[in-house]
Every structure is written in structure tokens, then in C-alpha cells.
């Protein structure tokens, strides 16, 4: 796939036309207050594995609606003092996987919390967290579940789970809450921006090829999934256009990004049809903290920088923790 979006010089100044709802902050404050009315009840159970360099814990905590959310918490073996904490979110369709699959951050000396994504984990890695909430008519996938109303939209639950995941991870005695970092790829990168806009005391955020950015543009300029799900839905629910975009405005990372209060390392790929570069730049250009960097991969698609960018994140993060 050749480059299809704006030229890079235009991307660097592009601003989204997405309109922030006037009650955006109130909506999210009320949503989180409702979630916090349920006891967090974070539980960490040691997992027996053949891994000798990392200790791994099976985690459960209460997310949106008090629903129990799973995760993995990992630390370098033999740790006795609190460590910088990396909270990571998973890409679209994936789950937390098996306990031995995500050891990079713990191997680098961090406490690492990987949140399972409710209802996902059937596409490319396994998940263990059901989503007990149903929805009205929806396109196959997750992006249109409950999309006719901000209160029932699927990502209201997932983003709230993400905030509660930070609180759960910070409750472990070997996690240094004052040195908390968020990261993730694709959907995980989008969640790191959203949760980063709702949690004010982070030290760094590293969204990689992030999803859920500049939603009005995203669903119009690419035929790739998952954004295609919204177009298919609207092709069959023609009268709901304004209602759908009204819902999406409460979940657009362009608006969460303006509330970002920690240094950030973004990435994008100029041939990425899944999360088009203009949508990523829309969030990056409006990001709230002055210390922000974006790595651009000219000849890559949604894989972005892959292992090269992972190495870059590992080199970048020690400046802040």
C-alpha cells in the first residue's frame, strides 16, 4: 500500500474538526464516580510457570459496573522494593493471552500490568474477561456495540476499565504509584491516550499507532476494519448518522489528548489504513503536554515500527521514571 493520506508537512499541522461535547468532563466524572461506587477489590494470585526471571500474578479487579476484569501483573523475580509501573492495554480483538507471553517490561526492570479487554480475545490472542452487557443492533466487531447512546457504548465500559486497571495495578505493594506509565498498540494505544486524559498524575504515556482518534475523519477515509464497522452500520441505519457521531464525540481521543498531562511518545505509519496517520496526528498535535514526540514510519502499515519501536520505547522511558 502506498502512502494515501496527507503529505507529512500537512500532517504536522493538521487539526481535527471533531467537536468536543460541552459536558464531556461531566460525563466522564459521573461515569468514573459510578465505577468507584463499587469496591475495587484488586486480587493478585501468584501463577506457577516455567519462567524463572519474572514473577507473574493472575489479577482480578472491579471495572465498569463492578464487573470483574482480568489482567496479568509481572515483576522481576526477587523484587523487594517498589518499581516503576507500566500499565499496558491490548490491541483490537486480542486478550491478555497466556502468562508467559508479555515479559518485556518486567524483564527490563519494571512492574507491568496488562489489562484484559472485556469481550475480546477471540481474534489473535486469548482473553478471559466476558462483557456481561448486551447491545442493540450492531455491526460484527466491537466498535458499534451500543453506539446509538453514549451511556451504552462499548468503549464507555472499556475506558472505565482502563482507569480502574491503573488503580488496581497501583494497589500492589511492589508498584510505585508515583511512577506510572501507560502504553499500548493500536486499540491499546488509543486506550492509553483516553485513560491518560482521565488520570492526571502519570509520568509518561506511549501510544503506538493509536486507534479511536479523530473519529469523524477516520470512518470516512478508510475502508479497513475496525473503522469500516461504523460505515457499514450507518449504511443500514441511515437516520442515525447524527446520533452516532454524537456518541463518538465522547470517546474521540482528540478530546482526551488535550487533557494529556504527561510526556508522550506517539508513533504512526504513513501507509496505515487501519489507523490513518492524519487521525494519529490529530491527537498528537492537540496533545496537552509540551513534551511530546511522534515517531513516523514512512514505509509501514499498521505494524508501525514493530520491534524497532519497542526498542525505542525501552530507551525513551528511563528519562521519566
Residue numbers annotated as active site = 186, 272, 302
Q: Are 75 and 109 in contact (CB under 8 A)?
A: no
Residue-by-residue DSSP string for 241-278: HHHHHHHHGGG-HHHHHTT--S-EEEEEETT-SSS-HH
Give every CB contact of residue 102 below 8 A, 6+ residues apart in sequence. Answer: 72, 74, 88, 96, 112, 114
CA separation for the pair 258, 92 (Å, rounded):
23
Q: Are 253 and 193 in contact (CB under 8 A)?
A: yes
Return the closest-CA partner of residue 268 out of 287, 296, 292, 301.
296
CA separation for the pair 158, 125 (Å, rounded):
17
307: alpha, beta or left? (left if phi > 0; alpha if psi -120 to 50): alpha
Q: Are 120 and 127 in contact (CB under 8 A)?
A: yes
Amino acid at each position: 500500500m502506498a502512502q494515501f493520506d496527507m503529505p507529512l508537512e500537512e500532517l504536522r499541522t493538521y487539526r481535527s474538526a471533531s467537536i468536543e461535547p460541552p459536558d464531556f468532563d461531566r460525563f466522564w466524572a459521573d461515569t468514573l464516580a459510578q465505577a468507584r461506587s463499587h469496591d475495587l477489590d484488586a486480587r493478585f494470585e501468584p501463577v506457577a510457570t516455567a519462567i524463572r526471571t519474572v514473577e507473574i500474578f493472575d489479577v482480578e479487579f472491579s471495572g465498569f459496573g463492578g464487573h470483574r476484569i482480568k489482567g496479568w501483573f509481572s515483576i522481576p523475580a526477587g523484587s523487594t522494593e517498589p518499581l516503576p509501573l507500566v500499565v499496558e492495554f491490548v490491541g483490537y480483538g486480542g486478550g491478555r493471552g497466556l502468562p508467559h507471553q508479555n515479559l518485556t517490561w518486567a524483564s527490563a526492570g519494571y512492574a507491568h500490568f496488562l489489562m484484559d479487554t472485556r469481550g475480546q480475545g477471540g481474534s489473535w490472542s486469548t482473553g478471559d474477561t466476558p462483557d456481561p452487557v448486551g447491545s442493540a443492533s450492531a455491526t460484527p466487531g466491537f466498535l458499534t456495540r451500543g453506539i446509538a447512546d453514549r451511556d451504552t457504548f462499548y468503549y464507555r465500559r472499556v475506558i472505565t476499565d482502563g482507569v480502574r486497571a491503573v488503580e488496581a495495578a497501583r494497589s500492589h505493594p511492589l508498584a510505585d504509584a508515583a511512577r506510572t506509565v501507560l502504553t499500548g498498540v493500536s486499540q491499546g494505544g488509543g486506550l492509553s491516550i483516553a485513560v491518560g486524559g482521565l488520570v492526571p498524575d502519570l509520568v509518561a504515556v506511549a501510544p503506538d499507532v493509536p486507534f479511536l482518534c479523530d473519529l469523524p475523519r477516520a470512518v470516512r477515509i478508510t475502508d479497513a476494519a475496525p473503522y469500516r464497522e461504523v460505515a457499514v452500520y450507518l449504511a443500514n441505519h441511515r437516520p442515525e448518522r447524527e446520533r452516532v457521531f454524537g456518541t463518538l464525540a465522547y470517546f474521540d481521543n482528540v478530546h482526551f489528548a488535550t487533557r494529556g498531562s504527561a510526556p508522550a511518545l506517539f508513533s504512526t505509519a504513513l501507509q496505515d489504513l487501519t489507523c490513518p496517520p492524519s487521525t494519529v496526528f490529530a491527537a498528537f498535535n492537540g496533545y496537552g503536554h509540551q513534551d511530546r514526540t511522534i515517531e513516523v514510519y514512512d514505509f509501514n502499515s499498521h505494524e508501525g515500527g514493530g520491534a524497532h519501536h519497542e526498542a525505542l520505547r525501552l530507551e525513551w522511558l528511563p528519562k521519566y521514571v
